[in-house]
Amino acid sequence: MKVFRNKRDLSFNELNYSFLEKFETYYLRKGNSLNGLAVYMRTIRAIYNKAIKQSIASLETYPFANYTIKSEPTKKRAISMDAIQKIVALKYEPENVLFRTRNIFLMSFYLMGAPYSDLAHLKVSNIIDGRVQYKRQKTGKFYDIKITENLSEIIDYYKTNKDKDDYLLPIIKRDSLDEQYRDIMSQRRLYNKQLRRIAKDAEIDEHLTSYVSRHSFASIANNMAVPVTAISEMLGHQKLTTTQTYLASLNKEIIDDYNAKIIGG
């Protein structure tokens, strides 16, 4: 986006349908993926929606009324529970940059696959009576999740010596919406790079990204025979078809068990 804009700031008045179309063409011509573009566009949309609520931008000029965010099916990105446990077992000192990377990955998994952007916006005030209560940045869906023992250890570390209005994690460091967007995007790029080192340390063959914890939560729930409707609710999806794209294929043992029950053998 910075290169496309020649490092110039972008006002909400300039963020119109024509701009989105031009950026889409520019982004895809560089050989980037359609799903990578979708990540950018969804983040921009979330910022614009927030700006409308704060009366910074006008609903009358909302650029996403006609622009459709496109995506395509992706390879399954889930890892097994055994792989998750390998990440849990990793021990880093707090001064090690991978300490935070590991914690964010596990927080996402423990919070029903919470997206990176939602974790970035969590504040100490979202921790209420042993629960994490917050609204998703993308959909506005309200979550009220019980803090389990393994999650509590991570949350307690980050909320120490912080006020209620402080962000829980050290991701967002500035105040304006566009600066917050930049903070999240730059920190997520760094996070994804560090996840490669996490995978190596945990001896995990799969490629780890910020999406893997979310997909893994869904896939593991699916393999535990949690109803897809419940998984969809936990992920905050409005359509079951969206949830299906998150679910890795059921493992062979479960398929064998189902088959045995069906054929009686």
Cα–Cα distance for residue pair 83/61, rounded to 1 Å: 46
DSSP assignments along the chain, one per residue? -TTTTTT----TTT-SHHHHHHHHHHHHHTT--HHHHHHHHHHHHHHHHHHHHTTSS-GGG-GGGTPPPP----------HHHHHHHHT----TTSHHHHHHHHHHHHHHTTS--HHHHHH-BGGGEETTEEEEE-TTT--EEEEE--HHHHHHHHHHHTT--TTSBSSSS---SSHHHHHHHHHHHHHHHHHHHHHHHHHHT--SPP-TTHHHHHHHHHHHHTT--HHHHHHHHT-SSHHHHHTTPPPPPHHHHHHHHHHHHT-
pTM above 0.75, yes or no: no
Predicted pLDDT of residue 87: 97
Predicted pLDDT of residue 223: 84
Question: What mean pLDDT do residues 86-99 have?
Answer: 97
Ranking 72-76, 98-102, 172-176, 199-203 by mean pLDDT, the lowest is 72-76
Mean pLDDT for all residues in the chain? 89
Structure-block tokens of residue 215: 């997909």
Is the pLDDT at 249 greater than 60? The verdict is: no
Question: What mean pLDDT do residues 31-57 have?
Answer: 89
Predicted pLDDT of residue 230: 87
pLDDT (tens digit, 9 = 90+) per residue, 162-195? Answer: 999 999 999 999 989 889 999 999 999 999 999 9
Tell how far CA 121 is from the center of its chain.
Answer: 11
Cα–Cα distance for residue pair 11/178, rounded to 1 Å: 9
Cα–Cα distance for residue pair 82/228, rounded to 1 Å: 22
State the pLDDT confidence band at 250, using cuts at 50, 70 and 90: low
Q: What percentage of residues in the chain have a pLDDT greater than 90?
A: 60
Cα–Cα distance for residue pair 222/204, rounded to 1 Å: 21
HSE, side-chain direction, 13 A CA sphere, residue 80: 10
Is the pLDDT at 82 greater than 80? The verdict is: yes
More confident residue, 103 or 1: 103
